Amino acid sequence: MKTKSTYFTAFLLMITFPYLPLEIKAQLTVINIGHYAHDISQDGQTMVLSNSRGNYIWTEAEGLVTINTISNGYSNSGRPSISADGNLVAATATNPTTQLNEMALYNRTTSTWTYLGGIEGQSDGSKSSAWGFTKDGSTAVGLGWVSAARAHAIKWTAHEGLQDLGSTVENRSSRANAISDDGEVIVGWQDAENGTRQGALWRGKNQILLSDKGTILTEASAVSADGNWVVGGNHQGPWRWTSNDQVDYVPHPDTGAFFRGAATSITADGKIVIGYFRPWPGPPIGGEGFIWTKETGRVELNAYAEALGIDTKGVQLSLPSTITSDGKYIIGSGMLNDNQVAFILNTTPLSTSEHLKNQVVLYPNPVVNSLIIKSNTPVKSVVIYTLTGQRLATPILKDNRIDVRNLEKGVYYIHLFLGNKIIQSRFIKH
């Protein structure tokens, strides 16, 4: 059955760079369904979703298509993932022979499932579940049950079959959540003796716990294509880790002490991170999404869109789940009029205008009283943001000057609208 979708065209700024003029025409696709969006093909054309009953494929041409239902009376588990070309899906499916749920592969060309089995045991009608997939579709990772109360991280390849990655804490569980494109680095969690989830990384079957100068990090959720960057979070907040215990934390929004968050995905180069913050206790869908880079800091995802005049149609983009390796597409789930919806955010610029960079100058910078904009192209309007993405009151632009005397000392972002082009820059208020 084809679902109703809402499209609208809007401006959207790529915040990867601190100063980048763009001519952008981006699109937000809102899918009015009660499913969670998990993964998308590299070209942004095919998305995989799930709910408690099964797994689904969405394309613009065909709408929502069911690829399987969980038929043994238990709930769906795991996180479906899709290959870069959109042809293969790793998900959890009911094996018709055993009536047990297990990690499985779906081939869209042949519309067939391959069931991958489990390890030693089962729990609540399940032998295993799929949580991650390489972009070439060669390797799947997830969780396999050892007994009704204990599970291990698992890895599957066509050559070696299903492998038990084990647990480094006796009688405790582990799980693999994601895998690098070359299949060499797997990340997820390992239970501590007290049951707390610790961020874990496997190379082969060798497991290490991720830490920040000796402090163990929380659950790892994603890894960059080359395996050099890992993201995750929970009570510590969202974090980005690389070797030698180098850790960056995404700053907490000013919404109270009981807000928790996690990073959910990262680009191939490790520069752009997406994730969410949510009230605790409470579901992630009830919070707010963010996009983060080292240079720009955290920007709330709705503010990221609305900064450029995008009409988000009342959708709270609360749970972004995946950003493609090149950063062009962000997908996730959100709320619209108390209904859960899925969304695809296409941030692909149609063209760039690099020559504008040399035609706009801000001075003095640092500034005390009045910021002057020198531009060969008329500036229609400006918007100023804090480093955490808070939009300030629209400043009055008069004779290409902005009065900044009332701003507190610090660093600010400024968006300058020149026709249908936008320039983002920074200035320092003294």
Q: What is the pLDDT of residues 98-124, one digit of tens each?
A: 999 999 999 999 999 999 999 989 999
Residue 306 confidence (pLDDT): 64
Give the list of residues 6+ apart from residue 249 with CB closer than 8 angstroms, or none: 236, 237, 238, 239
Quick one: tokens of 77?
């588990």
pLDDT at 309 over 80: no
* pLDDT tens digit sequence for 402-417: 999 999 988 888 888 8
Give the list of residues 6+ apart from residue 416 with CB closer than 8 angstroms, or none: 360, 373, 375, 379, 382, 422, 423, 424, 425
Residue 358 confidence (pLDDT): 55
Mean pLDDT rounded to a whole number for the chain: 87
pTM score above 0.85: no
Domains and CATH numbers, the chain: 5-352 (2.130.10.10), 354-429 (2.60.40.3080)
- DSSP secondary structure letters along 280-332: SSS-GGGSEEEEEETTTEEEEHHHHHHTTT---TT-EEEEEEEE-TTS-EEEE
User: Is-contact 90 99, C-beta < 8 A?
Assistant: no
User: Is-contact 94 145, C-beta < 8 A?
Assistant: no
Residue 352 confidence (pLDDT): 32
